[in-house]
C-alpha cells in the first residue's frame, strides 16, 4: 500500500510544476468537474446550488484467494468437503446516488448524499453423497436505502495559477440496513446496505488547470466510529485517486484516472452470521473474507452544455477496471465499474 502511494505522489510532483496557467481555477468548463466517480472533487462559489444523480454499476465474477484466481472446485472440494460448502459465483451491485451541494460562503460548500442500493448475488452450494458432490445454484438479493452522507468542503487555498486545494470532512450516518435477509436467513456482510456505524470520511483534494488540461488528486479514508448494534465494524478504508483530463471542445473533455484503495477486514463479528457459517461455511459470512486492496484505471467523458435549452447541465460517464487486486480471504473478483451521472448547478 505504501509503495503505491509513493508512486502516486512522485507522479503528481512531476506533473504539478508544468500544469499551471494564469488566473484562478474555474468550474465553467467541461473538466471543471472531476471524473464522475470522484466524490467531493469540486467546490462552489458562495450562493450556488447543485443537484446531481449518479448511477453506478459494479460487476464481480470468479473467485480470488488473496491475489490469485481459484476455482469453485478448489474451494468446495471435489471428493470430500473443502474449505467451504457455499461460494459466491457472481455479483452485481447497482447504486443510485442523489446529491445536493450548496456553497454557504466562498470558504464552505456543504453536500448531502443519499444512495439507493440494489445487490444481486449468485452462489453455488454443495453437499456430498459419499465422494460425489452435488451442486445447487442459489440467488440472493437485497435493496433499499444506504447510509446518508454529509460533507463539508473547506477551501484551504486558491492560487492565481489555476491551482487550489480543499479539505473534505464527511460524516456517514447509519441509515442503511444491516439486517437484510433472504427468507429467514441473514445475508452476508457484503449484501448489507449500510455499515451500521457512524463513519468519518476525511480527504484532501488538490486541483490544477492549464488552458487545455486539468488534473486532480484526492487522498482520503473512511474510519468507523465504534461498533454497530451487531457488535462489528466494517474495515477502515484508505483511498487515493489521481486523474488528468483534456478539453476536446468547449463542451467536452476526456479523462484518465488511477485509483488505489485498501480496506481492512471486518472488525468483530455478527453472531447471526457466525451461526450461518457454523451450518454452511461460506466466505460471505466470514469477517476475514471482507475488504481488499484495489488499483483501478478509468476512462471518462464529461459533457457540459454551454448554450440552448440544456445550458448549465452536465452529463458524464466513466468506465473503470482493476489493474491490480488482492482480497482478504476468498472473495469475488471485481470486473468493471460504470458510473453515469447528471449534474446541474445554478
Choose, by CB under 5 A, the member of 64, 91, 101, 233 that binds Cu ion.
101
Nearer to Cu ion, 42 or 224 (CB): 42
Query: Is residue 151 at the binding interface for Cu ion, with CB under 5 A as the rule?
Result: no
Query: Is residue 153 at the binding interface for Cu ion, with CB under 5 A as the rule?
Result: no
User: For Cu ion, which stretch binds (CB under 5 A), given 10-18, 100-108, 180-188, 319-327?
Assistant: 100-108
Least distance from Cu ion to the Cβ atom of residue 252, Å: 19
Least distance from Cu ion to the Cβ atom of residue 33, Å: 7
Q: Which of residues 114-143 bind Cu ion (CB under 5 A)?
A: none
Query: Is residue 50 at the binding interface for Cu ion, with CB under 5 A as the rule?
Result: yes
Least distance from Cu ion to the Cβ atom of residue 109, Å: 7
Query: Is residue 56 at the binding interface for Cu ion, with CB under 5 A as the rule?
Result: no
Query: Is residue 113 at the binding interface for Cu ion, with CB under 5 A as the rule?
Result: no
Query: Is residue 234 at the binding interface for Cu ion, with CB under 5 A as the rule?
Result: no
Nearer to Cu ion, 101 or 247 (CB): 101
Nearer to Cu ion, 25 or 285 (CB): 25
Least distance from Cu ion to the Cβ atom of residue 32, Å: 10
Q: Which three cell numbers stand for residue 91?
A: 455479483
Q: Number of residues in contact with Cu ion, rule: CB under 5 A?
A: 2
Sites of contact with Cu ion (CB under 5 A): 50, 101
Amino acid at each position: 500500500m505504501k509503495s503505491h502511494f509513493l508512486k502516486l505522489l512522485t507522479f503528481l510532483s512531476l506533473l504539478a510544476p508544468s500544469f499551471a496557467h494564469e488566473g484562478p481555477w474555474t468550474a465553467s468548463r467541461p473538466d471543471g468537474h472531476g471524473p464522475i466517480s470522484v466524490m467531493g472533487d469540486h467546490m462552489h462559489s458562495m450562493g450556488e446550488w447543485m443537484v446531481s444523480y449518479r448511477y453506478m454499476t459494479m460487476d464481480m465474477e470468479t473467485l480470488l484467494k488473496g491475489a490469485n484466481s481459484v476455482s469453485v472446485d478448489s474451494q468446495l472440494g471435489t471428493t470430500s468437503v473443502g474449505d467451504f460448502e457455499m461460494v459466491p459465483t457472481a455479483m452485481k451491485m447497482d447504486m443510485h446516488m442523489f446529491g445536493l451541494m450548496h456553497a454557504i460562503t466562498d470558504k464552505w460548500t456543504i453536500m448531502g448524499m443519499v444512495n439507493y442500493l440494489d445487490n444481486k448475488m449468485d452462489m453455488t452450494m454443495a453437499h456430498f453423497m459419499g465422494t460425489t458432490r452435488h451442486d445447487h445454484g442459489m440467488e440472493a438479493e437485497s435493496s433499499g436505502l444506504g447510509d446518508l452522507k454529509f460533507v463539508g468542503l473547506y477551501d484551504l487555498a486558491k492560487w492565481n495559477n489555476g491551482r487550489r486545494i480543499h479539505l473534505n470532512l464527511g460524516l456517514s450516518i447509519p441509515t442503511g440496513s444491516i439486517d437484510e435477509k433472504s427468507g429467514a436467513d441473514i445475508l452476508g456482510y457484503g449484501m448489507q446496505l449500510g455499515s451500521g456505524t457512524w463513519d468519518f470520511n476525511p480527504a484532501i483534494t488538490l486541483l490544477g488547470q492549464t488552458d487545455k488540461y486539468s488534473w486532480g488528486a484526492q487522498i482520503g479514508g473512511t474510519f468507523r466510529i465504534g461498533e454497530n448494534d451487531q457488535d462489528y465494524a466494517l474495515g477502515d478504508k484508505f483511498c487515493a485517486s489521481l486523474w488528468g483530463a483534456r478539453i476536446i471542445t468547449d463542451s467536452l473533455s476526456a479523462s484518465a484516472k488511477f485509483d488505489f484503495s485498501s480496506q481492512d477486514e471486518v472488525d468483530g463479528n455478527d453472531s447471526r452470521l457466525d451461526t450461518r457459517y457454523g451450518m454452511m461455511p461460506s466466505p460471505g459470512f466470514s469477517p476475514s473474507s471482507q475488504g481488499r486492496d484495489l488499483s483501478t484505471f478509468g476512462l471518462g467523458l464529461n459533457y457540459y452544455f454551454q448554450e440552448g435549452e440544456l445550458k448549465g447541465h452536465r452529463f458524464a460517464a466513466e468506465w473503470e477496471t482493476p489493474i491490480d487486486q488482492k482480497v482478504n480471504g476468498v472473495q469475488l473478483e471485481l470486473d468493471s465499474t460504470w458510473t453515469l451521472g447528471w449534474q446541474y448547478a445554478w
